[in-house]
């Protein structure tokens, strides 16, 4: 069966997404699996069904549509275009292609990422290290520290996302298109740190306000 | 976001199609509404909405049910086909597809096959007519049949050659005529093409027909 994929809505490269709807959508493991399957590129419902089945997590058409609707509503998935093909009776048919809103989606305030105990522990360690290194006498206000760190992460991700929004450097774009998510995240993380240090160095000093 | 439209063509219309069956020929020659719909499609593939609006533009508004009736008739006669899809992108969460219809060929040429038995009768009559008017005593039926069959074969080849024309202006001109006009143009072209490519035709003819001494 021969087919043509017509893409009318291009996915972005990097996008930062926050908000209650995003958090709720990402709480569901199946939503995260679906987003993961879409990482390689736009897929039809049939292809998503196969992906779920291959991971031993078979889902019905109806269920996958339900996931897609939720993710579309949260803005994490878009209708990217149509697959046009001819069936065995030579009739021309179409299937919708779904895609992630962006190849790399940052969700900086996503509670689903957090194991509360682990978060508390690492915050404590961070505050102690900073206290010693910065020569502070008193302990840090942990809530304040958490907020500053959250903002720092958000700013980093925003900087890299807006860089990709504005760039038309085809070399970078084509390199990113071919990379796996496991390779991309560390690279983007380093780049975003460097951007932060260049463009918003003051944000790091603001951590001192918590002591 | 502005609405974006993209036409994707899967089945391309041919340049020329020879019509052999009576039903399709009737549709082309006698059915005014079929002819009208086919003329709309001369400009290129259209959606159902486009076709409906075309009828309105020529003051011949038709209901959806009626237009679907015409389309089904034309599809059955293999004069119209589903050629592809129009993709309309309203937003990131809404993409619509509409079916595109087109003619199966730019030019339709009617060549109804005459039944064998009837052809034999006509053949005998043509021979006798030639003898009567051109003053021949008799004709060798096998010899004349061969000449006649060569003529028919070259006609078929000549029609095929029209399909291979790359000059789209000529094709457009042929297509812009009604089906009778098209038939006249193509028949006359074939007749003269036969003569041009068989310059010794008179000699061949004289081998088959006995002149009165």
CATH of B4-110, one of 3.40.50.1220, 3.10.450.200, 1.10.3720.10, 1.10.10.10: 1.10.10.10
β-strand A12-16 against A92-100: which pairing, if any? Answer: unpaired
Query: CA angle, B193 as apex, B190 and B197 as ends, to 5°?
Result: 140
> How is chain B split into domains, by residue range?
4-110, 116-211
CA gyration radius for chain A?
21
| C-beta atoms of A81 and B10 within 8 A | no
Pair A15, A70 in one domain: yes
Q: Which of A79, A84, A101 sits opposite B94 (nearest CB)?
A: A79
Q: Are A7 and A98 in a shared domain? A: yes
Query: Which carries the bigger pLDDT value, residue A109 or residue A131?
Result: A131
Q: What is the pTM of this model?
A: 0.75
Confidence check: pLDDT of A126 > 60: yes
Predicted complex ipTM? 0.70
- For B101, name the nearest residue in chain A, comparing CA atoms only: A92
Between these two residues, B38 and B159, which has the higher pLDDT value?
Answer: B38
**Domain match, A125 and A149 both:** yes
CB B57 within 8 A of CB B20: no
Which residue bears the tokens 């006359």? B188
The whole-number average pLDDT for the span A139-148 is 86
Of the CA atoms within 13 Å of residue B122, those in its CB half-sphere come to 7
Give the C-alpha distances (Å, rounded to integers) separating A53 from A57, A59, A96.
5, 7, 20
Cα dihedral value A116, A118, A120, A126, nearest 10: -150
- Nearest chain A Cα distance for residue B18, angstroms: 22
3-state SS class at A93: strand
Q: Do B95 and A72 touch (CB under 8 A)?
A: no
In this complex, is the C-beta atom of A5 within 8 Å of any C-beta atom belonging to chain B?
Answer: no
- Give the model's confidence band at B1: pLDDT under 50 very low, under 70 low, under 90 confident, else very high: low
My answer on whether A24 and A75 are in the same domain is yes
Same domain, yes or no: A84 and A148: no
Identify any residues that bridge with B5 across adjacent strands, giving them in sequence order.
B88
Is A94 close to B85, i.e. CB distance below 8 A? Answer: yes
| Residue closest to B20 by CA, chosen among B172, B164, B156 | B156
Domain shared by A119 and A191, yes or no: yes
Interface of B with A (CB under 8 A): 4, 6, 8, 10-11, 82, 84-85, 87, 89, 92-95, 97, 99
Q: Which domain holds residue A89?
A: 3-106
DSSP strand pairing (B136-139 vs A92-100)? unpaired
């Amino acid at each position: 069966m021969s087919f043509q994929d017509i893409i009318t809505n291009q996915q972005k490269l990097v996008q930062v997404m926050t908000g209650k709807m995003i958090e709720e959508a990402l709480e569901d493991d199946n939503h995260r699996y679906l987003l993961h399957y879409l990482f390689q590129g736009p897929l039809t419902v049939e292809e998503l069904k196969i992906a779920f089945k291959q991971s031993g997590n078979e889902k019905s058409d109806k269920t996958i549509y339900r996931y897609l609707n939720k993710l579309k509503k949260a803005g994490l998935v878009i209708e990217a275009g149509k697959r046009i093909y001819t069936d065995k009776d030579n009739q021309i048919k179409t299937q919708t292609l779904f895609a992630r809103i962006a190849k790399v989606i940052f969700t900086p305030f996503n509670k689903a990422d957090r194991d509360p105990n682990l978060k508390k522990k690492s915050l404590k360690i961070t505050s102690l290290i900073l206290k010693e290194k910065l020569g502070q006498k008193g302990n840090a206000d942990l809530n304040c520290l958490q907020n500053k760190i959250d903002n720092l992460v958000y700013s980093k991700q925003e900087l890299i996302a807006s860089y990709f929004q504005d760039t038309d450097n085809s070399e970078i774009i084509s390199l990113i298109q071919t990379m796996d998510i496991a390779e991309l995240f560390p690279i983007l993380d380093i780049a975003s740190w460097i951007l932060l240090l260049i463009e918003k160095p003051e944000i790091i000093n603001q951590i001192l306000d918590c002591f | 976001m502005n609405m974006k439209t993209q036409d994707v063509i899967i089945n391309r219309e041919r340049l020329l199609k020879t019509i052999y069956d009576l039903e399709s020929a009737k549709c082309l020659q006698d059915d005014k509404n079929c002819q009208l719909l086919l003329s709309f499609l001369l400009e290129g593939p259209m959606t159902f909405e486009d076709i409906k609006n075309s009828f309105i533009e020529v003051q011949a508004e038709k209901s959806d049910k009626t237009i679907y009736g015409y389309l089904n008739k034309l599809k059955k006669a293999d004069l119209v086909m589903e050629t592809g899809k129009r993709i309309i992108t309203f937003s990131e969460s809404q993409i619509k597809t509409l079916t595109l219809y087109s003619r199966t060929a730019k030019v339709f040429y009617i060549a109804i096959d005459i039944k064998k038995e009837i052809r034999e009768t006509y053949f005998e009559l043509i021979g006798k007519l030639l003898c009567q008017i051109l003053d021949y005593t008799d004709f060798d039926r096998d010899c004349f049949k061969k000449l006649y069959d060569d003529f028919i074969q070259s006609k078929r080849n000549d029609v095929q050659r029209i399909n291979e024309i790359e000059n789209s202006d000529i094709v457009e001109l042929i297509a812009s005529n009604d089906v009778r006009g098209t038939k006249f143009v193509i028949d006359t072209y074939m007749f003269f093409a036969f003569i041009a490519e068989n310059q010794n035709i008179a000699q061949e003819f004289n081998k088959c027909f006995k002149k009165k001494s």
